[in-house]
Amino acid sequence: MSRDGERLIELVNELGSRVSHVVSDMVPPAAQVHLLNAQRELITALMLIYENRVTTAPTSRGRRSATSARRAPARRRTAARTGKIPIE
Protein backbone atom coordinates (compact mmCIF):
# COMPACT_ATOMS: atom_id res chain seq x y z
CA MET A 1 0.00 0.00 0.00
CA SER A 2 1.25 3.48 -0.79
CA ARG A 3 2.15 6.09 1.78
CA ASP A 4 -0.96 8.08 0.76
CA GLY A 5 -3.10 5.04 1.53
CA GLU A 6 -1.51 4.68 4.94
CA ARG A 7 -2.12 8.35 5.72
CA LEU A 8 -5.74 7.99 4.61
CA ILE A 9 -6.21 5.05 6.97
CA GLU A 10 -4.68 7.02 9.85
CA LEU A 11 -6.94 10.00 9.11
CA VAL A 12 -10.09 7.89 8.96
CA ASN A 13 -9.18 6.10 12.20
CA GLU A 14 -8.52 9.41 13.96
CA LEU A 15 -11.83 10.87 12.78
CA GLY A 16 -13.65 7.70 13.84
CA SER A 17 -12.18 7.78 17.32
CA ARG A 18 -13.04 11.46 17.80
CA VAL A 19 -16.62 10.94 16.66
CA SER A 20 -17.01 7.88 18.90
CA HIS A 21 -15.92 9.87 21.95
CA VAL A 22 -18.51 12.57 21.24
CA VAL A 23 -21.28 10.09 20.45
CA SER A 24 -20.61 7.81 23.43
CA ASP A 25 -22.18 10.31 25.85
CA MET A 26 -25.41 10.63 23.85
CA VAL A 27 -26.01 7.19 22.34
CA PRO A 28 -27.00 4.05 24.29
CA PRO A 29 -24.45 1.20 24.27
CA ALA A 30 -26.60 -1.09 22.11
CA ALA A 31 -26.87 1.56 19.41
CA GLN A 32 -23.11 2.24 19.65
CA VAL A 33 -22.44 -1.32 18.50
CA HIS A 34 -24.54 -0.75 15.38
CA LEU A 35 -22.81 2.55 14.70
CA LEU A 36 -19.37 0.98 15.06
CA ASN A 37 -20.33 -1.77 12.59
CA ALA A 38 -21.58 0.85 10.14
CA GLN A 39 -18.36 2.84 10.61
CA ARG A 40 -16.27 -0.27 9.89
CA GLU A 41 -18.26 -0.98 6.72
CA LEU A 42 -17.92 2.62 5.56
CA ILE A 43 -14.16 2.62 6.13
CA THR A 44 -13.85 -0.66 4.24
CA ALA A 45 -15.88 0.71 1.33
CA LEU A 46 -13.81 3.91 1.20
CA MET A 47 -10.57 1.95 1.20
CA LEU A 48 -11.79 -0.35 -1.57
CA ILE A 49 -12.82 2.66 -3.66
CA TYR A 50 -9.46 4.32 -3.02
CA GLU A 51 -7.47 1.19 -3.89
CA ASN A 52 -9.54 0.65 -7.02
CA ARG A 53 -8.92 4.22 -8.20
CA VAL A 54 -5.20 4.07 -7.46
CA THR A 55 -4.44 0.62 -8.84
CA THR A 56 -6.68 0.68 -11.93
CA ALA A 57 -4.98 2.34 -14.88
CA PRO A 58 -7.43 3.54 -17.54
CA THR A 59 -7.01 2.23 -21.09
CA SER A 60 -6.56 4.52 -24.05
CA ARG A 61 -10.32 5.11 -24.31
CA GLY A 62 -10.82 5.63 -20.57
CA ARG A 63 -12.40 2.22 -20.03
CA ARG A 64 -11.13 -0.87 -18.30
CA SER A 65 -9.94 -3.63 -20.52
CA ALA A 66 -11.70 -6.98 -20.32
CA THR A 67 -8.66 -8.56 -18.70
CA SER A 68 -8.57 -6.06 -15.82
CA ALA A 69 -12.22 -6.44 -14.90
CA ARG A 70 -12.65 -8.18 -11.58
CA ARG A 71 -15.55 -10.06 -10.15
CA ALA A 72 -17.36 -8.63 -7.18
CA PRO A 73 -16.29 -10.22 -3.92
CA ALA A 74 -18.63 -12.81 -2.43
CA ARG A 75 -21.02 -11.33 0.11
CA ARG A 76 -20.67 -12.43 3.67
CA ARG A 77 -23.85 -13.42 5.42
CA THR A 78 -24.68 -11.26 8.39
CA ALA A 79 -25.90 -12.68 11.66
CA ALA A 80 -29.64 -12.77 12.24
CA ARG A 81 -30.90 -9.87 14.31
CA THR A 82 -31.99 -10.69 17.81
CA GLY A 83 -34.70 -8.07 17.88
CA LYS A 84 -35.42 -4.40 17.64
CA ILE A 85 -33.74 -1.96 19.95
CA PRO A 86 -36.26 0.28 21.71
CA ILE A 87 -35.64 3.99 21.17
CA GLU A 88 -36.67 6.34 23.93
Cβ count near 36 (within 10 Å)? 13
- φ, ψ of residue 64 to 5 degrees: the values are -75, 145
- The sign of the CA dihedral 79, 82, 84, 88 is negative
Which pLDDT does position 55 carry in this prediction? 82
The answer, yes or no, to whether residue 14 has pLDDT greater than 80, is yes
Which pLDDT does position 65 carry in this prediction? 52
pLDDT digits (tens, 9 = 90+) for 15-64: 878 877 777 778 888 888 888 888 889 888 888 888 888 887 665 455 55
So where are the chain's domains? 3-55
In this structure, are residues 53 and 8 in contact, taking their beta carbons and an 8 Å threshold? no
pLDDT digits (tens, 9 = 90+) for 61-76: 555 555 555 666 676 6
In this structure, are residues 20 and 36 in contact, taking their beta carbons and an 8 Å threshold? yes
